[in-house]
Amino acid sequence: MYLNIHTHHIEADDAIIQVENLIIDSSIPMEVWIKQIESSLPNQYFSAGLHPWYLKEGQLEADLALLKRILAHPKVLFVGECGLDKICQTDWTFQINVFKTQIQIAEELQKPIVIHCVRAFSEIIQIKKLLRPKSPWLIHGFNNNEQILKQLVQHQMYISLGSALLQDKSNAVRLITSIPIKQLFLETDDKNCTISSIFVAASKQLEVEVEYLQEKIYANFKLIV
């Protein structure tokens, strides 16, 4: 069975375990979110968080209140995606404060956290060292350099690779063999591709059977949720 740890586009296939990302916005009523969750496929789950691109200071309190209510639903397995992004327009200090707040929520609920990170890996690692969270951290859509990867792995973070695996000269292709399989996940994110194509590309680079990769990644999933 394929496992897609982070997606914005659900594939109409009951045989795929999929974690759809919800970018929480309190201007949308609670009933709408719950309807989306409860009308989902049997093997469809969710992550829910405040994305750094869309943070609004004026509605933060309402967004956090809604987030906590949505995270209480049993099909919402992850907090996120949330994190830090140095190339978006959102105030940097505000990003850090909201990220830390969501880390605290993840700790309280004992749920893993899906992290969006752009040019802020040193800050992410620094925050992890400072807060010493017990909940698992997953860096989604990794496609960066070897030095950063080594630090993330060393700090016990899970690494999720996506469509960059379909690009022959990407960092994801070059470095996938450096990721311990017990810390590896695969995803489609918001890209127009199938999770099966990502698994095929990953298995080719790792020189293992797709079925072996399915088994190992599913085991990682069960370990953190």
DSSP conformation class of 13: -
Tokens of 169: 């000269």
State how far the Cα of 45 lies from the Cα of 18, in Å rounded to an integer: 6
pLDDT at res. 51? 98
Query: Per-residue pLDDT tens for 130-181?
Result: 999 999 999 999 999 999 999 999 999 999 999 999 999 999 999 999 999 9
pLDDT at res. 104? 98
Name the average pLDDT for the chain: 98
DSSP strands (E only) in 105-224: 113-118, 137-139, 158-161, 184-186
Query: Per-residue pLDDT tens for 68-125?
Result: 999 999 999 999 999 999 999 999 999 999 999 999 999 999 999 999 999 999 999 9
What is the number of domains present in the chain? Answer: 1
pLDDT at res. 199? 98
State how far the Cα of 58 lies from the Cα of 56, in Å rounded to an integer: 6
Record the pTM.
0.97
Q: Are 135 and 102 in contact (CB under 8 A)?
A: no
Return the C-alpha torsion angle 53, 135, 148, 151, nearest 10.
Answer: 160
Residue 77 makes CB contacts below 8 A (sequence gap 6+) with: 19, 45, 46, 47, 111, 112, 225
Q: Are 6 and 217 in contact (CB under 8 A)?
A: no
DSSP conformation class of 189: B
Tokens of 93: 């200090």
Q: What is the CATH number of the domain that holds 198?
A: 3.20.20.140
Residue 81 makes CB contacts below 8 A (sequence gap 6+) with: 6, 21, 23, 47, 49, 51, 114, 115, 116, 140
Give the angle subtended at the CA of 165 by the CAs of 76 and 187, to the nearest 5°. Answer: 5
Query: Per-residue pLDDT tens for 57-68?
Result: 999 999 999 999
Total H helices, total E strands in the chain: 8, 8
Residue range of the domain that includes 27 = 3-224
